[in-house]
């Protein structure tokens, strides 16, 4: 089955084109929690083809319909905990996801892992591309791991990731973990999708730089300093204290109870501190639900994505020639100081009629 998924993922367009899609059947499969259907459904929302887009919208609408349309499965009311996870390469994200995911599946929870990776288009690489990074979890029947698609562009990444999360939720997963890498823009996307945002760091010695982009600290609900084991434990605890201090200097947000955002030590390798971190996540989730922040965040996110889709639709004209070439030519003239931004914009808008 994993091989079949991999083939679809590598070549979503062809894999999809070669057979007729029965959207009703696909929706029922997703609602029944079938992982193969889920993989196909994600491939469908990832497709850039116009006919696939129509089918994807149909699929998403069906999954929000009352249960009798889905062979008795009521997928509409299902909510997963959507967990964003960011961390620069080398901090041990894969090991963390493997250990953390196995802890949760061991408790009978169903865990989906997705990746938001805008860099894969350029680098050719792909986070989560190699499932051997999470060998045990990828074989776990209660887990679903989805590598990031190649050829991603940022606007598309946002839409696709959001819809993939909705599909995992409709498939009845309890937790959807959305992994990203610390490049700023992708974190903003993840923050607009997830309920809680985790930042994973590695221990640093003394004044050593951590490579944390400043805006990312703002999003974190929980900072986990990994590798708090063996020789690195003292450094991890010191790093944790440094970040705890830095967090105290920042303003408390209305959606946080006393003591949050919080910094904690974990060891993904030794599976140490993961239960404590999970407890904090649950405590934060419970508090936010009790105080209405959970619901209002989801409502605000939904509205944000609606408005983004509308803006995206209106601005789509700029992404296509001849408008695209014209925008680029005028932009270069502005950079070179040959035209003012205002004059160039007036010219551009005039050319769009």
Tokens of 178: 């959305």
Q: For residue 199, what are the β-bridge partners?
A: 86, 223
Q: Give min distance, CB of 188 to a second copy, in A.
A: 10
The residue among 116 and 344 lying less far from a second copy, judged by its C-beta, is 344
Matching residue, tokens 């944000």 = 304
CA distance 235 to 241: 10
Q: How many residues does the chain have?
A: 353
Q: Give min distance, CB of 92 to a second copy, in A.
A: 19
Q: Give min distance, CB of 109 to a second copy, in A.
A: 25
Q: For residue 277, what are the β-bridge partners?
A: none
CA distance 264 to 223: 6
CA distance 298 to 194: 9
Q: What interhelical angle do 23-31 and 154-170 show, nearest 10? A: 60
Tokens of 115: 């990746």
The residue among 22 and 307 lying less far from a second copy, judged by its C-beta, is 307
Choose among 17, 43, 20, 12: nearest CA to 30. 43
Binding site for a second copy (CB under 8 A): 57, 60-61, 64, 162-163, 207, 209-215, 217-218, 242-243, 245-246, 248-252, 299-300, 302-303, 305-311, 313-315, 317-318, 327, 330-331, 334-337, 339-346, 348-349, 352
The residue among 147 and 203 lying less far from a second copy, judged by its C-beta, is 203
Q: Give min distance, CB of 286 to a second copy, in A.
A: 21
The residue among 250 and 275 lying less far from a second copy, judged by its C-beta, is 250
Q: Give min distance, CB of 104 to a second copy, in A.
A: 27
Q: Give min distance, CB of 339 to a second copy, in A.
A: 8
The residue among 35 and 159 lying less far from a second copy, judged by its C-beta, is 159
The residue among 172 and 211 lying less far from a second copy, judged by its C-beta, is 211
Sheet holding 143-145, edge to edge: 143-145, 111-116, 175-180, 81-86, 196-201, 222-225, 262-265
Q: Give min distance, CB of 278 to a second copy, in A.
A: 25
CA distance 33 to 178: 19
Q: Give min distance, CB of 80 to a second copy, in A.
A: 16
CA distance 294 to 257: 13
DSSP tag of 124: S
User: How many CB atoms are closer than 10 A to CB 9?
Assistant: 20
The residue among 57 and 276 lying less far from a second copy, judged by its C-beta, is 57
The residue among 54 and 279 lying less far from a second copy, judged by its C-beta, is 54
Are 133 and 206 a contacting pair, CB within 8 Å?
no
The residue among 2 and 318 lying less far from a second copy, judged by its C-beta, is 318
Tokens of 299: 């409502």
Q: Give min distance, CB of 242 to a second copy, in A.
A: 6
Query: CA-CA distances (angstroms) from residue 22 to 38, 51, 139, 232, 246?
Result: 14, 13, 28, 53, 53
């Amino acid at each position: 089955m994993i091989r079949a998924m991999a083939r679809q993922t590598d070549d979503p367009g062809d894999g999809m084109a070669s057979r007729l899609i029965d959207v009703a059947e696909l929706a029922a499969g997703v609602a029944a929690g079938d992982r193969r259907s889920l993989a196909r459904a994600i491939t469908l929302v990832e497709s850039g083809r116009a006919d696939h887009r129509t089918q994807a919208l149909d699929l998403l609408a069906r999954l929000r319909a009352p249960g009798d349309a889905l062979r008795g499965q009521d997928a509409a009311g299902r909510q997963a905990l959507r967990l964003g996870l960011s961390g620069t390469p080398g901090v041990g994200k894969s090991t963390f996801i493997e250990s953390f995911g196995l802890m949760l599946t061991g408790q009978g929870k169903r865990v989906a892992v997705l990746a938001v990776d805008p860099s894969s288009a350029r680098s050719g690489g792909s986070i989560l591309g190699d499932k051997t990074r999470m060998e045990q979890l990828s074989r776990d029947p209660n887990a679903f791991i989805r590598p990031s698609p190649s050829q991603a562009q940022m606007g598309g990444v946002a839409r696709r990731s959001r819809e993939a999360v909705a599909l995992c939720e409709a498939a009845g997963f309890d937790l959807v973990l959305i992994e990203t890498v610390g490049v700023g823009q992708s974190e903003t996307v993840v923050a607009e999708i997830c309920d809680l945002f985790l930042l994973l760091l590695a221990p640093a010695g003394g004044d050593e730089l951590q490579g944390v982009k400043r805006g990312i600290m703002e999003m974190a609900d929980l900072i986990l300093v990994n590798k708090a084991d063996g020789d690195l434990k003292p450094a991890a605890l010191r790093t944790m204290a440094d970040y705890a201090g830095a967090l105290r200097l920042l303003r408390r947000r209305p959606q946080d109870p006393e003591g949050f955002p919080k910094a904690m030590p974990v060891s993904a390798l030794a599976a140490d501190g993961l239960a404590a971190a999970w407890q904090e996540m649950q405590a934060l989730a419970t508090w936010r639900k009790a105080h209405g922040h959970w619901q209002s965040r989801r409502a605000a996110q939904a509205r944000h994505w609606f408005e983004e889709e509308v803006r995206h639709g209106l601005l789509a004209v700029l992404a296509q020639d001849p408008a695209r070439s014209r925008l680029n030519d005028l932009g270069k003239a502005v950079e070179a100081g040959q035209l003012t931004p205002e004059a160039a914009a007036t010219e551009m808008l005039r050319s769009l009629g």
